[in-house]
Structure formats: structure tokens, C-alpha cells
């Protein structure tokens, strides 16, 4: 039986670590191997709530789905959620631990190291294989001393490493070789091979470079993954929005959904299910003119509600939202978006700004509490004919009270959620639109209000996600040297891998005394 662990690192953020990790999990699960994903330290604004009530990075939840297992806190023991330019909330084993800036977080790593190592050891005891994902780049030499996610983890657990480079960005050979060369010799000893991601073109032209890289570094490229159009996995932060394909022009019956691109936007994956529907175009924007023309405007979640509200006002988007509401044009606020649409926010927790005036478009008030509410939700929307959602979850410090309008949703526990006044809607539930019934009922209602036609797709969002995870598994199976991967899982990194020596001659040696 295959047993072991593997760490997937990247030459930089968004090199393809998350996709390769998910693909390996899917491929192994299809072979009958019990496999779990793991990311020791994750910085992300997109997160989910597990069945056990823990908050973890969204990418690890999707990787768990690829592996066919339930997501849990041990799969992402440390999650950092930025809540402003300098501060972030540190979440440990799924629960808020403390706030930190970059410098103070470095001092916390000694306390977090045993948590990370225990979580990995726990998973390795319960699963045949654990596929770990690194963070950023292992060559961030300024952070190596306290590293929890890359070579520090590999060394502590004696785990072989695959290094992923994105050839679509250019310079992939220098990135792979340079990353290896910057590592100290004991770290280099665990880097067992490379994966090149997003290749398009003639493989015969690439082949000489692969041979040269192997000759220079003593390590083979174990796979070249082709570029696949429109391939996605739930992203970790809004940087991934830059990599999305250019927007297609809207057709006559296309529903135009505009999302406010907030600086600290969180859980923007809430919109993935909307963009998966045929005849729906989802755009992220900061343009007031876009808000005026859109069929539906979404004010998404944010980890810095007060700061993003101030930025929204500075850009004139508050006036555009008020004009939409006055005209009866559809607006949907999600979590932080609901809070912004309300009358007032009292935040002594995240921004510590105290009372702040909201946009006044919904009769709700929000008071932030130190304890974070983390739970899954299900319920129905009476306004949309009882359309149900089984896929909602809440991640928030803000406690919202409604004193007018009507609730948007009613939870199965009898607790109402959100608020509706005409076509201005708000909910605290993330993920609710992943339920096909609720999403399609909302889109039909929007289309009716805007004089457009909406014809729902025939594939469920869950099936679409599963199909894409299968594509990742296929990429691994068809384009990686899977025998070599299995050997790494069984036996670890090969012995006596060569070290790339780097030497810097002292400047003083070039000087003369005079």
C-alpha cells in the first residue's frame, strides 16, 4: 500500500501549487488511496467552515473534496486573514487566536510550530498519504529561519519536495534553478524534482531545456502540465482575479452581474456559481458607471468592513448604490456587504473605529463582537417561492440586527437571516448561491425585473466542480511521471541529490588599501 507524504512548493505565489496538490489528491483517491491535503500556514481571505465548526482556507476544503474526504481543521492549522494594510487575524486550528502584524507574527512562529507538526503527524497517522502545499516560495530567504510552510516543514517531517514553476509567465528555467540554488544544502537534499505548469506549444522545443535543467541540477522535470483554458480551483485571494480570462462581450440576453472590487474582498468565490451559469457574465469593478448599467450589483464580503466602506465612499460608489436602490435596481450584499448596506456599524474589533455610519439602504445595524461566529447554515427564501439553500455558512464578528424590511432567508433552525427592502437584498450567509435552486430562482427574478430572459443551465454547480477536479486528476495521471511520484511517497527523496553551490566573493578582497 502507498504510504508517505509529499510537499508541493512553487517558485512564486500562484505558480500552480494548489492545482497540483488537488490533482495529486484526486489521482491518488481514484487509485483507492486514502489521502488528505495539508497546508500548514495559509494567508487567504477566502475561507470556509468545516462540519466541525472550524475555519480553514478554501483551497484546502476543495482539495479535501478532490480527495473525497471531509475537510477539517488539521488540514490548515494556521490561517492568516489580512484585515488591513498591516494587520491580520491569526486563526489556529480553525479558531481565532490573536491579531498580528508581519513583525509580531514572526515572533509567534515558535509557538505555532508544535501545532503545525502535531496536525501533520495526526493526518499521517490516519491517512495513507498526505499531500502538503507550500506557501509563496521556499526561496524567501528572509523568512527561512522561522519557516513553517516550505523547507522548514519538509526538514521537520523529512518530506520530499516537488517544485512547481509557471512557464506561462516566462523565465521558468531560471525560476526553478534559482529557487533551488538559493536553498541551503540540507533543504536542497529534499527537492526531488520539478513540475512545469501551463505549457502551450511544441513539446519538442521544450525538451532541450528539460535535459539541460536536469544536467545542471541533478533533478528531472517529472511532468509538464499543459495549459487548460478556463481551469479553476477556488482561489485563495483576490490576486487570482488578475489571472482570469478577459471578459466576453455581453450578448442581448446575457445577465450582467457586477461585483464591487473591494480592497479586502473576502470569499469572492461566492460568485463562482453565478459565473458558471450560461447567459450570466460576472465582472469585478470599481466603476460607478458599471454599477449603473448592471442587471445585478453584488457588494461582497470583506475582512476590513470599515476600511472598505471608506474606500467605497471615496470612489463615489456610495452614490451609485443609492441611485440603484432608489431606482429599484437589484443589489445583493453578502456578509460585509450586508453590513455596509445597513444604517450603522459599531466596530471595536477589526478596525477598532467604533461607530461608523453605513450606507443606509437597509434597516439593519451591526455590532462587532470579539468572538467569531462560525457555522454552517441551511434554509429557505420565502420571497423566492421557498427556494432552498443547503450550502450556506457564516464567518463573521459582526452581529446584525434588523428593525425593518423582511428577512431574506429563514434558517431551518427558525433563525431569520439578512434583510430585504424591495430589490435591495442582504444576507450574512456565504456559499448560499452554490445551491442550484436558490441561485437560479434569484437569477430568474433578476431577469424578470430587468426585462431579460434567463434560461438555467442543466449541470449542477456541485457536478461542475467535481468535473473540474477530475480534470486535475487527469492532468496528473496523463502528464506526470506517476511512478516517480509513487516512489517518492514510498521512499522519500533520493539519497545524495547534488547541491547547487553558490559563492559570493567578498567585496573587500577586490579593494586595495590605498
Query: What whole-number distance in Å separates Cα of residue 92 and Cα of residue 372?
Result: 13
Q: Which residues pair with 37 in a beta bridge?
A: 131
Q: What are phi and psi of 496, to 5 degrees?
A: 60, 40
Which one-letter DSSP state was computed for residue 280? E
- Active site (catalytic) residues: 335, 430
Q: What is the pLDDT along the chain (514 residues), one digit of tens a residue?
A: 578 999 999 999 989 999 999 999 999 999 999 999 999 999 988 999 999 999 999 999 999 999 999 999 999 999 999 887 778 899 999 999 999 988 888 889 999 999 999 999 999 999 999 999 999 999 999 999 999 999 999 999 999 999 999 999 999 999 999 999 999 999 999 999 999 999 998 999 999 999 999 999 999 999 999 999 877 666 554 445 544 443 444 455 789 999 999 999 988 888 999 999 999 999 999 999 999 999 999 999 999 999 999 999 999 999 999 999 999 999 999 999 999 999 999 999 988 999 999 999 999 999 999 999 999 999 999 999 999 999 999 999 999 999 999 999 999 999 999 999 999 999 999 999 999 999 999 999 999 999 999 999 999 999 999 999 999 999 999 999 999 999 999 999 999 899 998 755 444 444 444 4
CATH code of the region 4-39+116-233+465-491? 3.40.50.300
DSSP secondary structure letters along 390-432: EEEEEEEEEEEEE-SSB-SEEETTS-EE-EEETTEEEES-BSG
Q: What are phi and psi of 415, to 5 degrees?
A: -85, 125
**Where are the domains positioned within the chain?**
4-39+116-233+465-491, 254-453
Q: pTM for the whole thing?
A: 0.91
Q: Provide the edge-to-edge strand list for the sheet that holds 41-43.
A: 41-43, 78-82, 87-92, 95-101
Q: Please report the beta strands in 243-353, taking only residues with DSSP state E, as ranges in sequence order.
A: 255-260, 265-266, 280-285, 296-299, 301-302, 331-334, 344-347
Query: What whole-number distance in Å separates Cα of residue 314 and Cα of residue 299?
Result: 16
Judge whether 4-39+116-233+465-491 and 254-453 match in fold: yes
CA atoms within a 13 Å half-sphere pointing along the CA-CB vector of 254: 18
Report how far apart, in Å, the C-alpha atoms of 15 and of each of 12, 135, 229, 231 are. Answer: 6, 10, 16, 14
CATH class of the domain whose range is 254-453? alpha beta
Run of H or E including 354 = strand 354-357
Amino acid at each position: 500500500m502507498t504510504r508517505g507524504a509529499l510537499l508541493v512548493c512553487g517558485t512564486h505565489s500562484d505558480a500552480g501549487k494548489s492545482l497540483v496538490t488537488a490533482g495529486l489528491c484526486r489521482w491518488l483517491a481514484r487509485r483507492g488511496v486514502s489521502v488528505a491535503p495539508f497546508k500548514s500556514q495559509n494567508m487567504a481571505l477566502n475561507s470556509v467552515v468545516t462540519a466541525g465548526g472550524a475555519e480553514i482556507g478554501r483551497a484546502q476544503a476543495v482539495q479535501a473534496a478532490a480527495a473525497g474526504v471531509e475537510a477539517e481543521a488539521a488540514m490548515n492549522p494556521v490561517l492568516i486573514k489580512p484585515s488591513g494594510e498591516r494587520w491580520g487575524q491569526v486563526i489556529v486550528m480553525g479558531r481565532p487566536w490573536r491579531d498580528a502584524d508581519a513583525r509580531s507574527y514572526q515572533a509567534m512562529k515558535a509557538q505555532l510550530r508544535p501545532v503545525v507538526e502535531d496536525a501533520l503527524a495526526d493526518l499521517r497517522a490516519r491517512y495513507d498519504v498526505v499531500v502538503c502545499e507550500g506557501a509563496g516560495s521556499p526561496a524567501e530567504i528572509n523568512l527561512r529561519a522561522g519557516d513553517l510552510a516550505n523547507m522548514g516543514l519538509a526538514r521537520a517531517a523529512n518530506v520530499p519536495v516537488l517544485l512547481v514553476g509557471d512557464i506561462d509567465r516566462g523565465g521558468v528555467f531560471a525560476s526553478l534553478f534559482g529557487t533551488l540554488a538559493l536553498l541551503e544544502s540540507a533543504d536542497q537534499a529534499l527537492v526531488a524534482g520539478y513540475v512545469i505548469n501551463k505549457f502551450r506549444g511544441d513539446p519538442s522545443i521544450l525538451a532541450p531545456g528539460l535535459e539541460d535543467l536536469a544536467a545542471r541540477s541533478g533533478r528531472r522535470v517529472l511532468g509538464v502540465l499543459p495549459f487548460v483554458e478556463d481551469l479553476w480551483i477556488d482561489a485563495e485571494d483576490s490576486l487570482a482575479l488578475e489571472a482570469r480570462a478577459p471578459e466576453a462581450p455581453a450578448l442581448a440576453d446575457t445577465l450582467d452581474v457586477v461585483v464591487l472590487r473591494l480592497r479586502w474582498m473576502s470569499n469572492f468565490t461566492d460568485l463562482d456559481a453565478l459565473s458558471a451559469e450560461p447567459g450570466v457574465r460576472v465582472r469585478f469593478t470599481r466603476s460607478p458607471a458599471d454599477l449603473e448599467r448592471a442587471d445585478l450589483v453584488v457588494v461582497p464580503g470583506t475582512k476590513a468592513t470599515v476600511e472598505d466602506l471608506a474606500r467605497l465612499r471615496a470612489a463615489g460608489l456610495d452614490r451609485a448604490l443609492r441611485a440603484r436602490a432608489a431606482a429599484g435596481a437589484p443589489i445583493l450584499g453578502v456578509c460585509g456587504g450586508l453590513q455596509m448596506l445597513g444604517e450603522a456599524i459599531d466596530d471595536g474589533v477589526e478596525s477598532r473605529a467604533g461607530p461608523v455610519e453605513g450606507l443606509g439602504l437597509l434597516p439593519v445595524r451591526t455590532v462587532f463582537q470579539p468572538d467569531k461566529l462560525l457555522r454552517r447554515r441551511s434554509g429557505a427564501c420565502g420571497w423566492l417561492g421557498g427556494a432552498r439553500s443547503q450550502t450556506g455558512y457564516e464567518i463573521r464578528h459582526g452581529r446584525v440586527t434588523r428593525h425593518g424590511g423582511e428577512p431574506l432567508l429563514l434558517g431551518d433552525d427558525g433563525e431569520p437571516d439578512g434583510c430585504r427592502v424591495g430589490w435591495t437584498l442582504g444576507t450574512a450567509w456565504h456559499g448560499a448561491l452554490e445551491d442550484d435552486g436558490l441561485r437560479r430562482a434569484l437569477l430568474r427574478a433578476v431577469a424578470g425585473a430587468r426585462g431579460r430572459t434567463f434560461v438555467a443551465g442543466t449541470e449542477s454547480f456541485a457536478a461542475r466542480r467535481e468535473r473540474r477536479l477530475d480534470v486535475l486528476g487527469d492532468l496528473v495521471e496523463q502528464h506526470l511521471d506517476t511512478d516517480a511520484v509513487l516512489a517518492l511517497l514510498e521512499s522519500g527523496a533520493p539519497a545524495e541529490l547534488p547541491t547547487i553551490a553558490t559563492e559570493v566573493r567578498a567585496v573587500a578582497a577586490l579593494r586595495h588599501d590605498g
